[in-house]
Amino acid sequence: MHRSARYIAHRIVAPLACALLFLLILIVPNVWADSSSAAKADQISRGEEATVDPHHDGDKKSGDADKTDKSHEGKKTDEDKKADKGNKGDKGEKADKDKKADKSDKSKKTDEGKKADKDKRSDKSDKSKKADGDASAAPVPAPRDPAQRDTSGSSGVAAGRIFTSYITVGENDHVPCTFQVSEDGQALLGGGTDPAIDAGLTGKVFIPATVIDSAWGDASYSIKQINKRAFDGCSITSTGLLSYKNPGGATITSIGEDAYRGCANLTDTDLKDSMVEEIGAYAFSESGITTTGLARDTRITKLPDYIFNNCRNLEKTDLELSAVQLLGNYAFAGCTSLKNTGLANNEVLINKDPEEDDKTKIATGCFAACAALQDTGLAHNDMLKVIPDHAFANCYRLSSTGLASNTTITDIGPSAFYTCCDKDAKTGLKKTGLENNSTVINIGDTAFAYDKLLESTGLENPDCAVTTVGEYAFQFCSGLSSTGLENNSKVETLGRWAFGNSGVKSTGLGNHTTGVTELESNVFYGCGKLTATGLETNSAITTIKTSAFAKCICLTSTGLETNNTVKTIGDSAFSDCFDTTNKRGLTSTGLATNKTVEKIGKQAFYNDPYLGSEGNADENKGDLVLNGCEGKLSIGDQAFSAASAANESAYKAVYILCEKEKLKIGKKAFDYFNTTLSRKYIPSLYVQGSWEGTESYIFGRKDPNKSDNDESIYEVTPHTKKAEKLIIMNPLCGMAAERTANTSKALLSYSYNRSGNVKLSDTGGDDLGSFVAEPGPKPDLANHDIDPEDTGVTVDPHSFFCATVIEATFTDPDGWPITYPKKTSDGKGVSPHPYNAVGNEDDNYTTLTRKCNLDPVTFNVTFDGNGGRSRDGKDTVTKTRVSYGGTTFHDLVGDFKRENYEFLAWAKSADEHWYADDKVEVCNIQDGSVTLKARWKSEAAVGLRVLSKKKDSTDPLGGVSYVITDSEDSDESHYVTDLYTNEDETKKVDWPLTSGGDGLITTYWLKPLDIKAGESEDDARTYYLHVVGVPAGYDAPSEPTVIVVSSAGVTVNGATPSIEGDAVKVTISYGKAPDLPGTGWFTGVGAAALTEAGASIAVLSIFAATMWLMRRNGTC
């Protein structure tokens, strides 16, 4: 038990006791502080000054009082006793008076007594800190150091608390001033929302190092920061930043936003000799300072936004002499007396963008509206790379950008030099500096807008590196006469309104063949001096966007007449291009000869009343011509809607030369209003011949709920009251040709809407006849037979019966050009142009050629295998609707096979033309039929191998000479010459052949007869093998060996021979001749000799003779 008790005491009770004691140490002071705070609050509510019990907080903190003996509050106690002292005694009296003004007389006296007792105690030695006494007379401890105050509870320092203390302004050293408690327990001069002092007070400012919050237990706070708006709009003449140089003065290290804003009497920032390291935005804006105080200052490296904004007395920035690296936005904007930016030779200011460290730049708007500034300082700055937004905007005395000598700037930001010109256009910027610059790449939006004295863009510089001209970049630059793009090939983008309302007379796009491919919206809008678009020789631009050339009142042509790249004309692109005063304007769209534009936007040529009023080399007066692109065209709403000076459209006809299926027209595209304000539209619509069959064309939306119908109607034969005339420009409409069944003829059908003479021909130039067309009120329909057997008609079967083209040539009977219309209203001929004339341009449009396709003759073919079979095993194959000359026999029917035969050709009969792998041209009758029979050749060709040997022996006999003839006669004239000594048929036989030591001779190839068309189908061929010489002492046979070769096989002397490999083998034995004097040849009776020789001939059996039937040679 004893050991257990000790264990519990040591391991459980002791730790619990320690924990309880620790909690008491934490809780009791807070509870006591709460009670003290409550007592103080109660005293304040009764009009008494709060005190702290010296036995508690006072004893604990009394040591701090000794630290404040040299503070202003410590001095006030002595001066209360000595009325003849200086200004600091006055401050104590003023403080007491301020308190008395707010309390009753009784409470005022009590406060003064308590205050005196407290001040006396503050002068005593450290030993009196713990003296005891009556509670009512207890000494009050000095204000506690804010850093030692408890901030964890309600009784601690309240961050953000506003209180009033005093500073010195001029001769007044007791000026009430608002302070705010900071998070770190210091006092900020000013409450952060309103000025800290009376704005009307004037004089130099002295800021004490510490201030007392008498309403918060006389808490003492040090001052190191000027709060926001502390002296906003005040009349002070100094900043108070140099207070630290005087005894008891504050050392200020931070200035808040708007701190000295609007201090008109302030002439110096005092930054040069101050301890300030951080400054807020607008700190000195709109003040009267004449110097920044930055010269040779080493503490301030960053200037915030608007710090010196609108300081109208400031003449220089001193940036070049400062340590400033980062410059805030609009830092010196509105400094109308500023003459030096401090950028020249400045190697400290870098202003790097945190996201683009390599882009050093001036801050946005930093020198905007500096009316006295004439030089940017950039000419001698090699650190900066970007001129940002509004950097020098509204500097109307600026004479140079400095870019001409600058070698580092790459970007000119938006509005960087905006309105650098006074309102009377007497002074301002005349050059961009780009005329000698090779580093700037981007010109930002509105960069030089409203610079009315600007004479050139600098883009004409051949070394200019600019690729992008931003939106509004040169808008309202009325002094500009050229864009500078004439010989520029680097600019790739022109932003919206880039030259809008400027004075340019030329776009410079004529020679600008690369780079810019789209003209952005309003890019040349309102350029009243512009006389040409430059599109006539431009080969890069594909799109003209909204209002790009709108209100260019001096334009007479779009330049599209010779352009071959533009595809899209945007909405209002050329609208309102007219000058009523001078009675001039756009007279031609340029589309009469243009073949690339495929989209015309809404109101693209809206309200251009002079369009169509003049003719030119490409179009007649009153004609609107629209070609489209490859048959495709889209026309927007009111695209050509206008009213001329006479309140009617100058256009009398519209020519649309594209496919109907690819045409889209918006509502009121060709509308105008006459003098009665009734709706009208251009009266005649001419379309190309491909519209044949169209009776009417309607476009525009129809709204049954609106009385003003948007529909436009054009009809071939107008029968609708509001319809206008639709004319199809083709005197030979709907021309077509087809084959006539069961004949070799063709039928041509056509219609016509003009009189004329017509001559026909085909692809080969063959004359197919002629006729006269005489149209009536409606287009007449007609047919014409083309008969290849007619006299006077020459037809080449290969051109007429195959697929061909029928060509009709139309001529005007009067010899006039074939135009639509044919005559003008006064009876004169209409000037022909490619859009209104349908004739051949080479002969002045007096002839017209129209073409149509004629399909080939088609027929049926039956193929008879004649003993052979098709690939699918059929004896006969029939093909229907075979096109004349359209394919080959092999492609049509494939291969027929016959064992031991080689296919030769197809033929109607043996005595007619044979067709091998020719084009199938066996019938010229449409829908006719024909049968073809296969022709074959035997594969019986063989070689011949002759063995000469001695009779009754196996020994070969050399020196035997042979010839082969085509008859029994061995005369040389009958030698067979188409035989060879090798299988490859490269060595022809030279008769006779003589056996060698092996007794052999060999020759190739013995073949059956070649059967020709019309010959007998028996292909047997007979060869005669003659012995023309034997060695001395041997007999020679008197009769030749007869060899017959046919597709049926081979025989030797009527018997079937043996075959070795690829050759027939014949063995001839030679016996000794009778020993007669004077002869070495056997000359016995032929029959007896043959009988004796035949006894020695060994004819071998056939071994697969039919397998070696080679080399063609037979027919059946």
Identity at 106, one-letter amino acid code: K
Kindly give the pairing relationship between strand 468-469 and strand 442-443.
parallel
Q: What is the pLDDT of residue 209?
A: 97
Q: What is the pLDDT of residue 366?
A: 95
For residues 322-340, average pLDDT: 95
Helix (H, G, I), strand (E, B) or coil at 107: helix
For residues 683-699, average pLDDT: 87
> Using CA atoms, how far apart are residues 1043 and 965, in angstroms rounded to an integer?
11
> Which of residues 540 and 732 earns the better pLDDT score?
540
> Using CA atoms, how far apart are residues 249 and 240, in angstroms rounded to an integer?
9
Interval 148-204: pLDDT, tens: 333 333 335 578 999 999 999 999 999 999 999 999 999 999 999 999 999 999 999
For residues 538-561, average pLDDT: 95
Q: What is the pLDDT of residue 499?
A: 97
The residues, any chain, with a CB within 8 Å of residue 177's CB and separated by 6 or more, are 164, 165, 166, 167, 189, 190, 196, 197, 211
> Using CA atoms, how far apart are residues 1036 and 143, in angstroms rounded to an integer?
162
pLDDT over 50 (residue 997): yes
> Using CA atoms, how far apart are residues 89 and 9, in angstroms rounded to an integer?
65
> Using CA atoms, how far apart are residues 1088 and 905, in angstroms rounded to an integer?
50
Q: What is the pLDDT of residue 136?
A: 32
How many Cβ atoms are within 10 Å of 358's Cβ, its own excluded? 8
State the chain's maximal CA–CA distance in angstroms. Answer: 196
- Using a 10 angstrom Cβ sphere, with 0-12 exposed, 13-18 middle and 19 or more buried, the burial of residue 1030 is buried
> Using CA atoms, how far apart are residues 229 and 226, in angstroms rounded to an integer?
9
Identity at 213, one-letter amino acid code: D
Q: What is the pLDDT of residue 813?
A: 79
Query: pLDDT tier at 63 (50, 70, 90 boundaries)?
Result: very low
Locate the domains of the chain by residue range.
38-125, 158-257, 730-854, 858-938, 942-1108
Report cis status (omega within 30 of 0) of the bond before 143.
no
Domain at 942-1108: CATH architecture: Sandwich (2.60)
The answer to whether residues 770 and 803 touch, using CB atoms and an 8 Å cutoff, is: no
DSSP label at 657? -
Q: What is the pLDDT of residue 511?
A: 78
| Residues in the chain, overall count | 1116
pLDDT over 80 (residue 229): yes
By mean pLDDT, which of 114-128, 558-572, 573-587 is the weakest? 114-128
pLDDT over 60 (residue 677): no
CA dihedral 237, 240, 242, 243 (to 10 degrees): 130
Q: How far is CA 643 from CA 205, 253, 576, 622, 921, in A?
A: 75, 74, 11, 13, 66
pLDDT over 90 (residue 885): no
Q: What is the pLDDT of residue 1006?
A: 86
> Using CA atoms, how far apart are residues 157 and 942, in angstroms rounded to an integer?
130
> Using CA atoms, how far apart are residues 570 and 584, in angstroms rounded to an integer?
23
Query: pLDDT tier at 79 (50, 70, 90 boundaries)?
Result: very low
Q: Do domains 858-938 and 942-1108 have the same CATH topology?
A: yes
Query: pLDDT tier at 347 (50, 70, 90 boundaries)?
Result: confident
> Using CA atoms, how far apart are residues 525 and 534, in angstroms rounded to an integer?
15
How many Cβ atoms are within 10 Å of 98's Cβ, its own excluded? 14
pLDDT over 80 (residue 940): no
Mean pLDDT score of the chain: 80
Interval 1-45: pLDDT, tens: 444 444 445 555 555 655 665 555 555 444 444 444 434 434 433
For residues 759-785, average pLDDT: 71
Query: pLDDT tier at 847 (50, 70, 90 boundaries)?
Result: confident
pLDDT over 50 (residue 550): yes
pLDDT over 70 (residue 976): yes
> Which of residues 906 and 152 earns the better pLDDT score?
906
> Using CA atoms, how far apart are residues 408 and 664, in angstroms rounded to an integer?
53
> Which of residues 948 and 775 earns the better pLDDT score?
948
pLDDT over 80 (residue 216): yes
Name residue 752's beta-bridge partners: 780
The answer to whether residues 878 and 870 touch, using CB atoms and an 8 Å cutoff, is: no
> Using CA atoms, how far apart are residues 664 and 690, in angstroms rounded to an integer?
16
pLDDT over 90 (residue 258): yes
With b meaning 16 or more CB within 10 Å and e meaning fewer, what string describes 906-938? bbeebeeebbeeebbbbbbbbbbeeebbbbbbb
The answer to whether residues 350 and 325 touch, using CB atoms and an 8 Å cutoff, is: yes
Kindly give the pairing relationship between strand 663-665 and strand 543-544.
unpaired
> Which of residues 85 and 597 earns the better pLDDT score?
597
What are the E-state strand segments in 470-580? 493-494, 518-519, 543-544, 568-569, 578-579
- Using a 10 angstrom Cβ sphere, with 0-12 exposed, 13-18 middle and 19 or more buried, the burial of residue 836 is buried
Q: How far is CA 502 from CA 452, 525, 530, in A?
A: 9, 8, 9
Query: pLDDT tier at 231 (50, 70, 90 boundaries)?
Result: very high
The answer to whether residues 400 and 434 touch, using CB atoms and an 8 Å cutoff, is: no
Closest CA to 809 of 774, 844, 847, 838: 847
Instruction: Report the half-sphere exposure of 666 (CA within 13 A, side-chain side).
Output: 16
- Pick among 3.20.20.70, 2.60.40.4270, 2.60.40.10, 3.90.470.10: CATH of 858-938: 2.60.40.4270
Percent of the chain with pLDDT over 70: 75
Q: What is the pLDDT of residue 634?
A: 96
> Using CA atoms, how far apart are residues 758 and 847, in angstroms rounded to an integer?
10
The answer to whether residues 464 and 433 touch, using CB atoms and an 8 Å cutoff, is: no
Q: What is the pLDDT of residue 61?
A: 36
pLDDT over 70 (residue 48): no
Rg, C-alpha atoms of the chain:
60
DSSP label at 991? S
Closest CA to 434 of 470, 410, 414, 398: 410
> Using CA atoms, how far apart are residues 1000 and 988, in angstroms rounded to an integer?
17
> Which of residues 132 and 340 earns the better pLDDT score?
340
> Using CA atoms, how far apart are residues 687 and 696, in angstroms rounded to an integer?
11
> Using CA atoms, how far apart are residues 990 and 980, in angstroms rounded to an integer?
9
The answer to whether residues 131 and 139 touch, using CB atoms and an 8 Å cutoff, is: yes
Q: What is the pLDDT of residue 817?
A: 87
Q: How far is CA 694 from CA 57, 256, 691, 717, 781, in A?
A: 109, 82, 6, 11, 16
Q: What is the pLDDT of residue 1076?
A: 54
Q: What is the pLDDT of residue 586?
A: 92
Interval 458-500: pLDDT, tens: 999 999 999 999 999 999 999 999 999 988 889 999 999 999 9
